[in-house]
Structure 1
Amino acid sequence: MDEKQKLLVIIGPTAVGKTKLSIEMAKRYNGEIISGDSMQIYRHMDIGTAKITKDEMEGIPHYLIDIKQPEENFSAAEFQVLVRDKINEIAARGKLPIIVGGTGLYIQSVIYDYQFADVPGDELFRLQLEEKARGIGNEALYQELLAIDPESAEQIHPNNVRRVIRALEIYHLTGKTMREFQSTQQPDLLYQTALIGLTMDREKLYDRINARVDEMIEKGLLQEVKGLYQQGLRQCQSIQAIGYKEIYQYLDGEITLQQAIEDLKQNSRRYAKRQLTWFRNKMDVQWFDITDVKNFEKKLLEISHYVEGKLQVKSNTY
């Protein structure tokens, strides 16, 4: 049997410190980085998605950043194809592929043998739903999905009718929600994977999230979102991202700027909590607590030992 391709994956909640660790790992193990973030794929959305800067990259190649326009949709299935191709390209150059991000479903779809098309289609049912969407509207159809499969609905924008219909179709054909159906697949890991999760004391993480939001505002988040707002971008997946939808409410005159900032902080904290729950429930992660950032070098050594044991790679820093 062929030996599986080596792959390092770094996950964790927003603002925990994944970017810093990923650069260190890439330097140590001759790696190149693939973004595992569902929003950093969008151009012109840099501050609100905490996109890595050229300086922060320290010369390490990064992929799947700035590949879509804000009005375009993007799915886990498309991500799966793009990332698997990129893993092969990086490995062919003799480099270690490193996926870094916080979008659990996207990363899960890549590293496990998930078959998105395993449920057969029901064309008649699908056509009926398409007709229904035209009659009652996208939001009403979305509410139907929310009632039977809230977990999937949370991952789908109401105007992404194709995905809403697909989730309803799976339920119609199997009697299971999309997530329940996927859990019955019992997929295998496709790669020789070191799956590292970063965590820290919740209060400290929340303080970091709040500070990051303040920094985003200082860096010009308001101007960034205004640019999208003035282009008339509305009913699209990207604008539902945390950091954009709150500022849109302010620009629409629904809430004050201060309220928008508070909502952004609260939504980011809630998102971090959901990320941790997802990773702990869905993936076999080796967790490392990095609450004590003063001991980062010590923690880096601990993580490095784990990676070397799991992937049989050698550090080029020794």
Structure 2
Amino acid sequence: MKLSLPMPKQIKPSLHIPTNNTYLLRHPPQKEKVVVVMGATGTGKSRLSIDLATRFAAEVINSDKMQVYQGLDIATNKITDEERRGVPHHLLGIVNPESDFSAADFRATATLSLQSIHIRGHLPIIVGGSNSFIEALIDTNNFRSRYDCCFLWVDVAMPVLNSFVSDRVDKMVDLGLVREVRDFYKPNADYTKGIRRAIGVAEFDKYFKSESISEEEIRARILAEAIDAIKSNTSRLARRQLEKIRRLRNTKGWKVHRLDATDVFRKRGGEAEAAWEDLVAGPGFAVVSRFLYNLEPVICGGIMVERDRAPLMAAASF
């Protein structure tokens, strides 16, 4: 059951409110709420954002710097319409693939999305692996003066994540990755701009150029090398993303709530679903509830969370 998030109450001045700074310090305006879901590629950030958005009245803002572009849905791992489960998404597949979309561009467009979501009385959930985009948005005086943030970090041990990434690339190939990138291919293209910077694009350049070679065995070897390169580059990206999250938490002091999903990736079928609910979705929901409402401490899923001292606006189970 969805929880309804009320519109933030704006404190308006009246004749009975003192205009001195002492009053403002004691009664600061209520800030609007924002949830940020972080994590390395492949850890389940999008899944958690949808789980949260279907339990609260929420909309998702994409912060993946490759998924903002139109096209190459397989290569960039865009969330599908079915996976979105009716949750509105912003900044997903909206930018011309040949143009550049900078951190400053993200900050400007995400700010507009935040405002429109709050006007509708909904909770914004920012999700994506491009931590530089998230940092560019949050580390501004305008953002910090207006919003309170709750940071969730979906984490998976690197050896386990590497294995998952390898399997995921194979599945992407089965879904038509090579054909998708071939349709987008241009000889002598600039792989430093636009969507061509995405992992899974430049790696196929040599293979596409070799397709005129008659020897099938040679072409198969070049293709296998391209797929291996995609797996290696994706794993390196995941490590860089983890390093950035740790820096934001340890050096910059962001209060990041870590959700360890490692055991989820070690299981299969129903056991994996149950582990996701116990280790990620349930605790994530509890943390966000604590952030949004006035809650008292209880133990849930092995972590300290808090329960409302008064009845919640609506009930939900997890």
Query: Above 0.5 in TM-score?
Result: yes
Counterpart CA distance in 2 for 1:7 and 1:73 is 27
**Could you list the per-position Cα deviations for residues 2-50 of structure 1 after superposition, in whole angstroms to 9, with x for gaps in the alignment?**
2111001101000111111111100111111111100011111100110
Please point out which of 197, 201, 217 is paired with 2:173. 217
The corresponding residue for 1:245 is: 202
1:305 corresponds, among 269, 276, 286, to 286
Q: Taking every aligned residue pair, what percent have the same amino acid on both sides? A: 34
Asked whether the equivalents of residues 225 and 248 of structure 1 are also in contact (C-alpha less than 8 Å), the reply is no
What does the per-residue CA deviation read over 1:105-138, in whole Å, with 9 as the maximum and x for residues that have no partner? 10111122169xxxxxxxxxxxxxxxxxxxxxxx
- Name the count of aligned residue pairs: 247
- The equivalent position to 2:158 in structure 1, one of 202, 224, 236, is 202
1 or 2, which has the higher helix percentage? 1
Larger Rg: 2
Change over 3 Å in CA distance of 1:296–1:24 after alignment to 2: same
1:60-82 C-alpha deviation (Å, 9 max, x unpaired):
11110111121111100010010
RCO higher in structure (CA 8 A, sep ≥6) = 1
Instruction: Name 2:243's counterpart in structure 1.
Output: 277
State the one-letter code of the partner of 1:215. Answer: K
Are the counterparts in 2 of residues 71 and 233 from structure 1 also a CA contact under 8 Å?
no
SS at match of 1:33: strand
Whether the aligned pair in 2 keeps the contact of 1:13 and 1:199 (CA below 8 Å) is: yes
Deviations 1:74-101 (A, max 9, x none): 1000100100110110111011000110
Distance 2:64 2:141 in 1: 18
**1:13–1:272 Cα contact (<8 Å) kept:** yes
2:40 aligns with one of 4, 13, 17: 13
The equivalent residue for 1:259 is 225
Give the partner amino acid of 2:282.
L
Residue 44 in structure 1 maps to residue 88 in structure 2: no
User: Structure 1 CA distance, aligned partners of 2:86 and 2:194?
Assistant: 31
Corresponding letter in the other structure for 2:258? W
Quote the residue 1:125 is aligned against. Answer: none
Distance 2:41 2:145 in 1: 25
